[in-house]
Structure 1
Amino acid sequence: MPSGPGEFEHCQKPAVGAWGVGWATLVLNHGTAPHPCYARIADVLVTFEGPWAAYRALTPQPRPGGTDVRLCHLVYDVPPGADPEGLARARGAAVHCAVPGTVDHPWGTLPYTLHKPENTS
């Protein structure tokens, strides 16, 4: 999903179509913080998708569109003993998924909310 304001109109048309056929929830996966205009057409904005190291280094970002839209973070390559849920909450993500999988196919592993590794510290 593009994140700049120039592509908004192109994305708005299918969103309106989805609502028109009765879709109740619209999630847009930008993978980064999009322009605030996208909050007008989404129920959930995926504002981060990437590895744990990048997620931990991410500086606080403005919340696109205020508090009316829920934020989602998708994090992979999360090491055992990490607290992805706490970090997601601290960064304002109401929805998140953290997995231990790595590049090529990180989402083929169970999320930590379903598969909690033992604390190795």
Structure 2
Amino acid sequence: MARALVRNPPVLILDEATSALDAESEYLIQQAVHGNLQKHTVLIIAHRLSTVERAHLIVVLDSGRVVQQGTHQQLLAQGGLYARLVQRQMLGLERAADCTAGHHEPPANGCPKA
């Protein structure tokens, strides 16, 4: 990633570039991309939607077909697949936070047994 940023390419393709990173490292990479590459074309392929929410254009694919496109806010307002995925990921994060905060409820809530 650092080598790509140093080369200052006109087009940069990031394919799941932050998927294996913790939240803090992902944030630092996002800051570098948004700060240093504003005049470049950056194509970000991601399943973690927080990675793309600041993009100028988000294209949502389902089974290889474009089903939605727009900004984060536009796609949320439309409802549809993108909004459902954002909601699902946010619920997953909330559930994970509940599990790690010591609020271990019965396993039915998705928390692993202690």
Report the TM-score when normalising by structure 1: 0.30
Larger Rg: 2
TM-score (norm. length: structure 2): 0.31
Kindly indicate whether structure 1 or structure 2 has the higher relative contact order, using CA contacts under 8 Å at least 6 residues apart.
Answer: 1
Structure richer in helix, relative to its length: 2
